[in-house]
Amino acid sequence: MLEKLRSIVQAVNSAQDLQSALDIIVTQVSKAMDTQVCSVYLLDSDINCHVLMASEGLNKSAVGHVNLEVGEGLVGLVAKHAEPINLMDAKEHPSYHYLPETGEEAFTSFLGVPIIHHRSVLGVLVVQHQQKRRFDEGEEAFLITLSAQLAGVIAHAEATGAIEGTSPSGHKSTNTTFSGVSGASGVAIGQALVVFPPADLSQIPRRKAKNIEKEIKLFNNSLAAVRDDIKAIHKKMAGRVPEEERELFTVYLHMLDDDALGKEVVEQIKLGTWAQGALAHVANEHVRSFEMMDDAYLRERAIDIKDLCSRVLFYLQEKEPVKPEYPENTILVSEELTPAMLADVPKKRLKGLISVKGSGSSHVAILARGLGVPTVMGVSDVPINQLDGREVIVDGYNGQLISNPTDQLRNRFLNTIKEEDVLVKGLEGIKELPSETADNHRVHLWVNTGLESDISRSLDHGAEGIGLYRTEVPFLLSERFPSEQEQATIYREQLEAFAPKLVTMRTLDVGGDKDLPYFPIDEENPFLGWRGIRVTLDHPEIFTAQIRAMLRASIGLNNLQIMLPMICNINEVIASTQLIKKAYRELLQEGLEVTYPPVGVMIELPAAVYQARVLARMVDFISVGSNDLTQYILGVDRNNPRVAHLYSSFHPAVLRSLHYVVIQAHLENKPVSICGEMAGDPGAAVLLMAMGFDVLSMNTSSLLKVKSVIRTLTMEVAQDLLEQVMELDDSQMIRSAVDMALYNAGVDRLLRTSRLH
């Protein structure tokens, strides 16, 4: 059974487009299950019907022409209840709707299962028999399993058509929407530019060749280079490996022959595709068809093709490195956006970001928020290879990417962009004003830096200090651990720019989704593994060099605070403090006039919440890292788009933990701040202020927005709201209550909608 499933799924995977995928499904399923009919009905929401898209056994002329209105017939019933229906005699069922064009009167039994992707029913997969017999349990289970596996492939194929502006049944469709999660609020309209990591065949976008002759030449040269490499390896292996293994290299050379892979690629280029795209297309096709083979040995050959073609791609990219030409209104799109990709785009041109992987709490989304660039993360169903060059809309408020917009929708988004401009300009006026409520309660607004290099911008927005300087950033941008002196120079810049305001430097926090290229941490479960303080305590030499650099950088300024990430027990605090003291003493002995800085811990783990009081007693300040705290309290990976809808810092359990930490820290008379992303969400900031947080630390772009909301409300209103939401049991309800309170206070729509997922 498993083998049958595997081979059907692989065959469908290799299909070129939606129609061929569906044709493969119906022929292969009816064969595998030995049924007389297999059909696929897909929902076409543009016409609100289930359309018979493919069939084996029913009249071919009906395919594409027969529609059932939503809810109509047995198909409608399966879709409506999202459950299988298994009938011995379909005609006796009250929902049976006879479709004369199909010739289905010849068939009696019926089994229909829903095709469900991300909770929505895409369509129905049906098998039918002439005999009057119920399909048995095994058959039903087989069809359900198959449908679950095919749903993703069908969704992807549908999306591929949708991006071209056609609905599943071929109607013209508009406002094609792909859902992800909000990475940074705001709206952008611009031209998609797909960026991709080197030598990865699966991520090459389709682009037009600028000069076909040149592309062919480039390809042939790269092919020749790979051939030479293989010949050289072949020669080198003589006498070292058995002759039959050495023969493999000859096979590889044949694969690259002009009349094999090479020829196909050149044909594709002649059709107008650039060399990299043509190679990727041909390679992926072959890989898929090898992967489908029944013979295990031949299946393995898919790896050889991938390897060979990746080598050719390497030469193509080396011979002509493609420097992306960033359009005026660049919407940067990638399978997995990285901070380095963002850094390459000229600042003025970067209007929006789309990432297939990651979610709203990924570090790249945090960076985007800092830069104020509308971003959608985790748009998993979008066929990004086809987005290149298209005009798209990034709706960072609702986490959606839209293509083929109608003029009406486009104008609506243009109006939102104008509204945003007016809002941002309006906020300039409060830069110099204090951050205090209408009844004069003062809340300190600090900034998070590191991901965003522009310190002057933070100062210009009235930041009163740095609540989190992510020191890992210079580490991420370097090719080896930066030396003590290099670090001291970088830290000095931050400290000097902000002096005499306090700068909270966090010790190196790598692991999780922050991997240093020169210090890879490869783990099954990185967020529960070796990260943050766990790494640096295991490498005291790295920790000590960093502390020394911080202390030296602060000489004469004395505005440094040191903060420890991912603390889970008191021993980590004791060990870290000992190392800090040791570094301090050493520097004094070296004759440097260093001052011992305040040291604080981050509360990012549930364990630390429950030990907040004892931790507060041991240190000078507490800072809550709500990004990680939310992830660990809710057990939701902050990077995983599949569970992003479950990640909410408004969850009652998270809010209770935050409130508890404030109370515990204050019992020890220690200041408590929050430096997770929720501090920059105006609605959340109101709750945090009411809880008693002394400092809210956020990205620069949020600062004036939060300040404007704080200045609009009174502390009394904020505290009433907190009391009210603490009684609620659900994140959505809490979010709505907060929105309503802001609405009643007259807070601008755009400030209310800059939501935390």
In the list Mg ion, ligand PEP, none, the entry touching 369 (Cβ below 5 to 8 angstroms by class) is: none
What is the number of other CB atoms lying within 10 angstroms of the CB of residue 590?
10
Look at strands 375-377 and 181-184 and give their pairing. antiparallel
Nearest C-alpha neighbor of 179 from the set 757, 574, 702: 757
Number of residues that bind ligand PEP (CB under 6 A): 10
Cβ proximity to Mg ion: between 39 and 361 the closer is 361
Measured in residues, the chain has a length of: 757
Is position 637 an interface residue for ligand PEP (rule: CB under 6 A)? no
Provide, rounded to whole angstroms, the least separation between the CB of residue 600 and ligand PEP. Answer: 13
Question: Which CB sits closer to ligand PEP, 30 or 627?
Answer: 627
* Closest distance of CB 448 from ligand PEP, Å: 7
Residue 676 interacting with ligand PEP (CB under 6 A)? yes
Are 148 and 360 a contacting pair, CB within 8 Å? Answer: no
In the list ligand PEP, Mg ion, none, the entry touching 676 (Cβ below 5 to 8 angstroms by class) is ligand PEP
Residues 421 and 489: their CA atoms lie apart, in Å, by: 37
Q: Which two tokens stand for residue 77?
A: 């019933």
Q: CA 394, CA 375: separation in Å to the nearest integer? A: 7
Exposure b/e, 101-118, CB count within 10 A at least 16 = b: ebbbeebbbbbbbbbbbe
Out of Mg ion, ligand PEP, none, which partner does residue 215 contact, by CB within 5 to 8 A per kind? Answer: none
Shortest Cβ 698–ligand PEP spacing (Å): 10
Closest CB to Mg ion among 510 and 706?
510
Q: Which residue has the tokens 């081979």?
A: 7
User: Counting contacts by CB under 6 A, is residue 369 touching ligand PEP?
Assistant: no
String of DSSP letters for 610-672: HTHHHHHHHSSEEEE-HHHHHHHHHT--TT-GGGGGG--TTSHHHHHHHHHHHHHHHHTT--E
Whether 38 sits among the annotated catalytic residues: the reply is no
Residues 496-555 interacting with ligand PEP (rule: CB under 6 A): 509
Residue 363 bears catalytic tag = yes
Q: Is 626 in the site for ligand PEP (CB under 6 A)?
A: yes
The minimum distance between CB 604 and Mg ion, in angstroms, equals 5
Partnered with residue 352 across adjacent β-strands are: 331
736 close to 728: Cβ distance less than 8 angstroms: no
The crossing angle, in degrees rounded to 10, of helices 212-236 and 296-319 is: 120
Least CB distance to ligand PEP at residue 32 (A): 48
> Segment contacting ligand PEP (CB under 6 A): 98-106, 166-174, 626-634, 663-671?
626-634
Residues 607-636 interacting with Mg ion (rule: CB under 5 A): 625, 628
C-beta of 472 vs 748, nearer to ligand PEP:
472
Residue closer to ligand PEP, measured from CB, 361 or 731: 361
The single residue of 49, 309, 675, 757 carrying the catalytic annotation is 675
Residue 360 CB, shortest distance to ligand PEP, in Å, is 12
Interaction partner, residue 115 (ligand PEP, Mg ion, none; CB < 5-8 Å by kind): none
Q: Which does 675 bind (CB under 5 to 8 A by kind): Mg ion, ligand PEP, none?
A: ligand PEP
Q: Residue 117 or residue 369: which is nearer to ligand PEP going by CB?
A: 369
Residue nearest ligand PEP by beta-carbon distance: 625
Q: Which of 56, 291, 604, 748 binds ligand PEP (CB under 6 A)?
A: 604
Q: Which two tokens stand for residue 80?
A: 């409506």
Select which of 281, 286, 363, 757 is catalytic. Answer: 363
Whose Cβ is closer to Mg ion: residue 628's or residue 637's? 628
Q: What's the min distance (Å) between Cβ of 514 and Mg ion?
A: 9
The minimum distance between CB 630 and ligand PEP, in angstroms, equals 8
In angstroms, how far apart are the furthest CA atoms of the chain?
Answer: 97
Q: Which of 625, 641, 680, 683 binds ligand PEP (CB under 6 A)?
A: 625
**Which does residue 292 touch among Mg ion, ligand PEP, none (CB within 5 to 8 A, set by kind)?**
none
Task: Answer whether the bond into residue 500 is a cis peptide, omega within 30°.
Answer: yes
∠ CA 578-580-584, rounded to 5°? 115
* Long-range CB pairs of 454-461, under 8 A, 24+ apart, other chains included: 454/700, 455/493, 455/494, 455/497, 455/498, 456/497, 457/700, 458/700, 458/703, 459/497, 459/498, 460/431, 461/431, 461/700, 461/703, 461/704
Q: Does residue 600 interact with ligand PEP by CB under 6 A?
A: no
Q: DSSP state, 62?
A: G
Judged by beta carbon, residue 583 or residue 675, the one nearer Mg ion is 675
Q: Is residue 751 near ligand PEP by the rule CB under 6 A?
A: no
Smallest distance from ligand PEP to CB 676, Å: 3
By CB under 6 A, which span of 260-268, 331-339, 381-389, 623-631 interacts with ligand PEP? 623-631
By CB under 5 A, the count of residues binding Mg ion is 2
Q: Locate 563 and state its tokens.
A: 């903060």
Q: What is the CA radius of gyration of the chain?
A: 30
Task: In angstroms, give the least distance from the CB of 703 to ligand PEP.
Answer: 16
At closest approach, how far in Å is the CB of 52 from ligand PEP?
50
- DSSP, collapsed to helix, strand or coil, labels residue 74 as helix
509 close to 472: Cβ distance less than 8 angstroms: yes
When binding is defined by CB under 6 A, the residue of 158, 395, 464, 628 that contacts ligand PEP is: 628
Name the one residue in this structure whose structure tokens are 């041909």: 282
CA 630 to CA 678: how far, in whole Å?
Answer: 10
By a kind-dependent CB cut-off of 5 to 8 A, residue 470 interacts, out of ligand PEP, Mg ion, none, with: ligand PEP
Interface with ligand PEP, residue 641, by CB under 6 A? no
Short-list 80, 42, 78, CA closest to 159: 42
Q: Is 450 in the site for Mg ion (CB under 5 A)?
A: no
C-beta closer to ligand PEP: residue 162 or 463: 463
* 351, 470, 659, 707: which one binds ligand PEP (CB under 6 A): 470
Report how far residue 144's alpha carbon sits from residue 148's, in angstroms, rounded to the nearest whole number: 6
Cα distances from 171 to residues 72, 156, 348, in angstroms, run 21, 18, 38
Pick the piece of the chain touching ligand PEP (CB under 6 A) from 11-19, 242-250, 481-489, 621-629: 621-629
Of 280, 249, 250, 251, nearest to 265 by C-alpha is: 280
The distance of closest approach from Cβ of residue 1 to ligand PEP in the complex, given in angstroms and rounded to an integer, is: 44
Which partner in Mg ion, ligand PEP, none is near 468 (CB below 5 to 8 A by kind)?
A: ligand PEP
Give the separation between CA 300 and CA 297, rounded to whole angstroms: 5
Asked if 673 touches ligand PEP (CB under 6 A), the answer is: no
Q: Which of 377, 371, 447, 355 is nearest to 706 (CA)?
A: 447
626: partner contacted, choices ligand PEP, Mg ion, none (Cβ within 5-8 A by kind): ligand PEP
Partner that binds at residue 752, options Mg ion, ligand PEP, none, CB closer than 5 to 8 Å by kind: none
The pair phi, psi for residue 283, each rounded to 5°, is: -60, -45
Q: Shortest Cβ distance from residue 565 to ligand PEP (Å)?
A: 7
**Residue closer to ligand PEP (CB basis): 381 or 509:** 509
- Give the residue, chosen from 203, 435, 627, 712, that forms a contact with ligand PEP under the rule CB under 6 A: 627
Q: Nearer to Mg ion by C-beta: 79 or 562?
A: 562
Single-letter code of the amino acid located at 279:
L
Distances (CA, A) of 37 to 26, 94, 111, 474, 654: 8, 21, 10, 62, 53
Contacts to ligand PEP by CB under 6 A: 468, 470, 509, 604, 625-628, 675-676
Contacts to Mg ion by CB under 5 A: 625, 628
State the catalytic residues. Answer: 363, 675
